[in-house]
Homo-oligomer: A and B are copies of this chain.
Amino acid sequence: MKDGQESKERPVRMTSNKLSVQVAINSWGLIVERANKIFSNLTDDELLREVAPGRNRLIYLLGHLTAVHDAMFPILGLGERLHPELDAIFVSSPDKTGAQLPPVAELKKYWDEVNGKLLSQFATLSADEWLQRHYAMSEEDYAKDPGRNRLAVLLSRTNHMSYHLGQIALAVK
């Protein structure tokens, strides 16, 4: 553990840097928990509701969020995706194209799998690694803007999840 060794020399600074990252991971975890609570209580029929008339159905947003979270594995350098097949239905295409969706039970399982594995993988990255470039950008671009790092991806995806959670809440309250 590089962090652990360095913390003997620089206890305050090291703790601060780790703490910043931990706060960001906590924020992600909190929104995932809120989404879990909502999705786990919805029946198959309820998942077919639209968030507003003519807009996305809850089942589409469940698949969409799962696909976008699954894509975080390669972007964060945390390995291969678990369900790349979801992109064609839930990212590249809008809702209600007539495409056959995976069964609800499968989608709920994927959602849990992807978020569970992400959270455990997050813990394997050191605070410094969170500030290294993400894999969707080149070394050159990172050199120009070191703010485009893994941590920025985490915050961006947390905001994305919050955005859709606000929509989802309209159909379940």
Is B23 a contact of A147 with CB atoms below 8 Å? Answer: yes
Please give the distance in Å from A73's CB to the nearest CB on chain B: 20
**A62 in contact (CB, < 8 A):** no
Is A155 a contact of B23 with CB atoms below 8 Å? Answer: yes
Q: Out of B17, B152, B155, B158, which one reaches A16, CB within 8 Å?
A: B17
Mask, A2-39, CB within 8 Å of B = 1, is 00001000101110110111111011000100000000
Q: Using a Cβ–Cβ cut-off of 8 Å, how many residues does chain A contribute to the interface with B?
A: 43
Task: Say what secondary structure dominates the interface of chain A.
Answer: helix
Minimum CB distance partner of A149 in chain B: B23
A13 to B9 Cα, complex, angstroms:
11
Q: Out of B26, B51, B131, B159, which one reaches A19, CB within 8 Å?
A: B131
A170 to B151 Cα, complex, angstroms:
28
A120 to B16 Cα, complex, angstroms:
23
**Chain B residues with Cβ under 8 A from A27's Cβ?**
152, 155-156, 159
**A119 in contact (CB, < 8 A):** no
A63 to B16 Cα, complex, angstroms:
35
**Chain B residues with Cβ under 8 A from A21's Cβ?**
20
**A52 in contact (CB, < 8 A):** yes
Most buried by B among A156, A159, A164: A159
Mask, A131-173, CB within 8 Å of B = 1, is 1000000000000001101011001101110111111011100
**A83 in contact (CB, < 8 A):** no
**A55 in contact (CB, < 8 A):** yes
Minimum CB distance partner of A26 in chain B: B147
Question: Which 6 A-B pairs rank lowest in CB-CB distance, beginning with the nearest?
Answer: A20-B20, A163-B166, A162-B162, A166-B166, A52-B52, A27-B155
